[in-house]
Amino acid sequence: MRDRRGMTLIEMLVALVIFSIILGGSLGMLSSQSKMLDKSAIDMGMLQNLSFGGDLLSQEFRLSGSNVPFKQPMVLYAGPNTFIFNADYASNTDSLFAVFYNPGMPSGQVIALLPAQRFALPGTSPAFMYPDSTYLAAGSFTLTSPAETIIWMFQLDTSSTDPNDYFLLRQVNNAAPEVVIRNVIRTPGRNFFRYYYKRIPASGATSASLDTVPSAWMPVRHTWAIHGAAADTGVSSRADSLGAVEVAFTVTNGQTGTAQRTRAITFMASLPNIGTKKITTCGSAPVLGTVPVATWVVDSAVAPWDSTIMVSWNRALDETGGETDVQSYVIWRRDQGSTTWPEPIATVAAGSPTPQWEDETVIAGAPGYQYMLAAQDCTPMLSGTATVNAPLTP
């Protein structure tokens, strides 16, 4: 017959001891894994902060100065914690020149500030007031520049228990700043931003070199209202020589003391647009704004005497101002009284302060000549035309 006896007390105690050992080991392992997961999550958060902040800074710094009209400064302020520049970063209309198109962007954040909106730029010391002038879009006498002011700054977080904690903030024009990342501290021995300028090459050098901006220059400020003006030289033009920004910052896990963990990043962001004059837009047909003059030129030293017709004119309005995109002038010729124009007889490159062209194929005493002039831009697109009748004889 089967033995129907149950477990003895000793057997139950032994089983309980073994179960307790296994359970204790399992709970210890679960606790260890939970701590590792928490640590991994915190480390991942730090890495995401590091990557997100670094990628945005690198991306936007490279765009500084993009599609900024020549008279509007590109870099406004370069300090140890703050970098402020102008750029046509975003548009809420279908713009060909803005970096990004966002139809939901507020109108006040897609164009340049006006003098009536002048304010102290945040993060500047001493306080830097901007703007000083009305900046217009290239080729326009009425439209405001599409280049907005973008402010990046590291600012102390007064709500944190760590007195060394910073925010990374981004601001467009005079809108409220937005927090990009938190729990940022200085990398020991470093400022958040360090700048490099393009040193003027020595005689015989083929290219400029980058050098660290001296501490005596800091902060670099574009103090002259009109970029490129005659007085915009020396100290006030140093901002135009900047070539790169070195960024260094450290993120933490939000703890202090021995519980604090950190991750640091250092990278260089180039400024390819700074100091580059925006000279052409080729957006609209060029404006001529001048009428040619035709005069006979007689060379009596040649036997029989030689004569030509000199066609001269003033430079087009869009060569020296406006869109500044005139590349050449096109000239046609026909007999006076003719109703059609043949193919152009000449093309003259822009650039001369006294543009002119000499027609050496004319015949003295022949029926009078009529000339037509137009300016051509880099599209190429022609302006309206202007005509002149040459005198009948020398």
Residue 84 lies in a domain: yes
- Among 17-26, 238-247, 298-307, 371-380, the range of highest mean pLDDT: 238-247
Residues 198, 301, single domain; the answer is no
Structural domain boundaries enclosing 362:
293-389
Residues 173, 302, single domain; the answer is no
Distances (CA, A) of 87 to 45, 113, 172, 318, 339: 31, 12, 10, 24, 50
Closest to 275 (Cα-Cα) out of 215, 210, 329: 210
* Prior bond of 131 cis (ω within 30°): yes
Residues 82, 214, single domain; the answer is yes
Which pLDDT does position 280 carry in this prediction?
Answer: 47
Residues 350, 202, single domain; the answer is no
Please state the φ and ψ torsions of residue 60, each to the nearest 5 degrees: -75, -35
Weakest-pLDDT range from 167-171, 262-266, 335-339, 379-383? 379-383
- DSSP of 324-383, one letter per residue? --EEEEEEEEEETT-SS--S-SEEEES--SS-EEEE-S--TTSSPEEEEEEEEESS--B-
Residue 10 lies in a domain: no
**Greater model confidence, 242 or 17:** 242
State pTM to two decimals.
Answer: 0.65
* Prior bond of 201 cis (ω within 30°): no
Q: How far apart are CA 171 and CA 152, in angstroms?
A: 7
Domain count, the chain: 2
Residue 198 lies in a domain: yes
What is the CATH classification number for the domain harbouring 373?
2.60.40.10
Residues 249, 165, single domain; the answer is yes
Residues 113, 248, single domain; the answer is yes
pLDDT in tens, 338-357: 999 999 999 888 888 999 99
Which pLDDT does position 43 carry in this prediction?
Answer: 74
Q: Which of 205, 239, 270 is the last residue of a domain?
A: 270
pLDDT in tens, 124-152: 999 999 998 888 886 556 788 999 999 99
In this predicted structure, the answer to whether residue 120 has a pLDDT above a threshold of 70 is yes
Residue 284 lies in a domain: no
Q: Which of 270, 304, 337 is the last residue of a domain?
A: 270
In this predicted structure, the answer to whether residue 85 has a pLDDT above a threshold of 80 is yes
Residues 76, 156, single domain; the answer is yes
Residues 181, 86, single domain; the answer is yes
Q: Considering the chain, what percentage of its residues have pLDDT values greater than 70?
A: 87
Name, in order, each residue with C-beta under 8 angstroms of 326's C-beta and a sequence gap of 6 or more. 286, 315, 316, 318, 319, 350, 375, 376, 377
Residues 58, 140, single domain; the answer is yes
Weakest-pLDDT range from 1-5, 164-168, 308-312, 367-371? 1-5
Q: What is the mean pLDDT of the chain?
A: 86
Residue 57, number of CB atoms within 10 A of its CB: 23
Which pLDDT does position 95 carry in this prediction?
Answer: 72
Which pLDDT does position 121 carry in this prediction?
Answer: 96
Sign of CA dihedral 381, 383, 385, 391: negative
Distances (CA, A) of 72 to 14, 147, 232, 237: 86, 9, 12, 13
**Greater model confidence, 203 or 355:** 355
Residues 324, 382, single domain; the answer is yes
Q: Which of 255, 270, 285 is the last residue of a domain?
A: 270
Which pLDDT does position 22 carry in this prediction?
Answer: 82
Residues 243, 335, single domain; the answer is no
- DSSP of 73-141, one letter per residue? -SEEEE-SSEEEEEE--EESS--SS-SEE-TTS-GGGSSPPPGGG-EEETT-SS-EEE--S--BPTT-S
In the DSSP assignment, the letter for residue 303 is: S
Average pLDDT on 56-81 reads: 92
Q: Considering the chain, what percentage of its residues have pLDDT values greater than 90?
A: 47
Average pLDDT on 358-376 reads: 87
Q: How far apart are CA 46 and CA 99, in angstroms?
A: 29
Under 8 Å between Cβ of 95 and 130: no
Residue 278 lies in a domain: no
Average pLDDT on 157-186 reads: 94
Residues 87, 125, single domain; the answer is yes
In this predicted structure, the answer to whether residue 25 has a pLDDT above a threshold of 80 is no
In this predicted structure, the answer to whether residue 219 has a pLDDT above a threshold of 90 is yes
